[in-house]
Amino acid sequence: MADQSSATFLSQAHHNLRTVLAARDDSTLPTPDALAATVSALPRPGQPDFLAGRGAEATLDHILTAIVPGLNSQGLSSRYFGFVTGGALPVAEAADNIVSALDQNVQVHLPTHSASTAVEDAALCMLIELLELGGDGRWPGRTFTTGATASNIMGLACGREAIIAARQQDTGAAAVTVAEGGLLAACHAAGVTEFQILTSMSHSSLSKAASVVGLGHRTVKELPASDDEPWRLDLDAVERELAQQGTATIIAVSAGEVNTGRFATNALDMPKLRSLADRYGAWIHVDGAFGIFARALPKTDEFLSLHANVAGLELADSIGADGHKLLNVPYDNGIFFCRNASILSKVFQNPNAVYLSTGPGTNIYSPLNIGIENSRRFRALPVYAVLLSEGRDGMADMFARQVLLARAIAAFIRGSLQFEWLPAEDASLESTHIIVLFRARDPTLNDVLVDRINKTRKMFVSRTKWKGQKAVRIAVASWRVDVQRDLAVIKEVLTEIIAVQGTTA
Ligand SMILES: *Cc1c(COP(=O)(O)O)cnc(C)c1O
């Protein structure tokens, strides 16, 4: 065990990792053979040396030679366009290693023991400024989460508690919180007979969040503005739904939508939504996992229409975002902002644990009382590192590169006779944020297009559907993006696929 904790072992481990990575080619996926080799190298019960204890050196060697070759390059390649992943900026990766080295448990705010909670708060305040959300005084409830799914759970949980409390106050009913009395008793006391979550093309995790907080998938109601723009929220429909007696409403704004990359609202919609929510006692939660970072794009003409899409989001009651996507810090990292700190701490209070209490006289909440976990990682440090290192201009530059590559790909697709740019061919390139959706016009090619692209291992794309038909989805999220270099490879891959199809058709 001694060598495992030694600095020599760790620096050797780091050195060996770097050597292995330097020798790796730039393929996005491991080969099928490499994957099979990794899986067959895993220990199995019944093997003579199963759980025999190999020692740290042999284990490290096993990981580097048998496991790493079976892992994909989502963090190493600039052309891994699947899902929305992002990579890890070197300074974030370094900070994350420091987090592991010091293994702080950021659970209780103990200012005389560790500055970790102060660093977390500093990072959150920097994010509030970067995203121009109206200053940290506006967002007294703020914390790091494991990702946007957790942030969505928190947004719905806070909304549920706040709406019920307001109803009880309005009707003069006895105060029964969800936290204390449970959802059934609280709804009963408030005269709430039904919940609804109004949204447009919400992320799947919103329905999951609805289940976790006891509202259920079926409370999620899609209110698309039109067939052509289903990602946009229909505000008239929202108003009609709000007017129902006995129904409590959370409005979940998809900023942006994960399939098309488009946005539910624009600069004029948010003030209108805010006044509707105030009039009917609804809560507005923004799912801004990746889209909210459009607020930190340069304020130049080419990004004005995206700025309009994310304008007004500061009017929400809660906002969730991801650190491990566009911000390019390692997994798991998400962010949650809430206008109402007392609701947040009511819902997430870890009750009756005196030994976990914070000393008096602080304005930093103990993370365990405002988030899902108790013990947890010092998640803030990589975010802190990225923001300190890049600053506003550096971040704007990185976000702009991501958008410009997506637009260059979209322009290529739009200009090609063999491909169809989705959702609308006549859209302006300026509506593109970081996602490009398209399909092959030839249905036989379209059927196998994702497989053909991914088999090249020069780029990786996601499989999706648009209006019932197969489509290809590209999400640009890595700090490693180089617009000219990556565009050249993408054009080459797509052109080659078309050429081969042409000769076999
Ligand atoms: C990725 C994503 C989520 C889920 O985030 P996780 O970090 O995977 O938990 C939620 N909403 C949107 C819009 C997303 O893109």
**Which atom in ligand 1 lies closest to the alpha carbon of residue 291?**
13
Q: Which of 156, 199, 203 to mutate to test the pocket of ligand 1 (most atoms within 8 A of CB)?
A: 203
Q: Mean pLDDT of all residues in the chain?
A: 96
What tokens does 497 get?
Answer: 């696929």
The total number of residues shown for the chain amounts to 505
Contact of 225 with 232, CB cutoff 8 Å: yes
Tens-digit pLDDT profile for residues 8-44? 999 999 999 999 999 999 899 999 999 999 999 999 9
* pLDDT, position 139: 98
Can you list the alpha helix ranges (DSSP code H) found in 143-268? Answer: 148-171, 178-190, 204-212, 235-242
Q: How confident is the model at residue 173 (pLDDT cuts 50, 70, 90)?
A: confident
Domain extent listing, the chain: 3-72, 111-352
Query: Is 3 a residue whose pLDDT tops 60?
Result: no
Three-state DSSP at 321 gives strand
Query: Is 207 a residue whose pLDDT tops 70?
Result: yes
Query: Is 458 a residue whose pLDDT tops 80?
Result: yes
Q: How far is the CA of 40 from the centre of ligand 1 (A)?
A: 32
Q: How far is the CA of 327 from the centre of ligand 1 (A)?
A: 13
Strand order in the sheet with 435-440: 419-422, 435-440, 469-475, 462-466
**DSSP one-letter code for 367:** G
Query: Is 1 a residue whose pLDDT tops 50?
Result: no
Query: Is 96 a residue whose pLDDT tops 70?
Result: yes
Q: How confident is the model at residue 502 (pLDDT cuts 50, 70, 90)?
A: confident
Could you check whether the bond before residue 360 is cis, i.e. omega within 30 degrees of 0?
Answer: no
Contact of 111 with 117, CB cutoff 8 Å: yes
Can you list the alpha helix ranges (DSSP code H) found in 174-303? Answer: 178-190, 204-212, 235-242, 269-280
Query: Is 54 a residue whose pLDDT tops 70?
Result: yes
Tens-digit pLDDT profile for residues 465-475? 999 999 999 99
**Which atom in ligand 1 lies closest to the alpha carbon of residue 332?**
7
Query: Is 355 a residue whose pLDDT tops 80?
Result: no
**Which atom in ligand 1 lies closest to the alpha carbon of residue 288?**
13
Residue that the structure tokens 């098309």 belong to = 260
Pairing of strands 141-145, 194-199: unpaired
Phi, psi (deg, nearest 5) at residue 50: -60, 125
Region 87-109: mean pLDDT is 97
Query: Is 374 a residue whose pLDDT tops 60?
Result: yes
The CATH fold of domain 111-352: Aspartate Aminotransferase; domain 2 (3.40.640)
C-alpha span between 370 and 157 (Å, rounded):
12
The pTM score is 0.97
C-alpha span between 354 and 316 (Å, rounded):
34
Please count the other Cβ atoms lying within 10 Å of the Cβ belonging to residue 195: 23
Residue bearing the CA closest to ligand 1, atom 7: 147
Tens-digit pLDDT profile for residues 227-254? 999 999 999 999 999 999 889 999 999 9
Q: How far is the CA of 401 from the centre of ligand 1 (A)?
A: 21
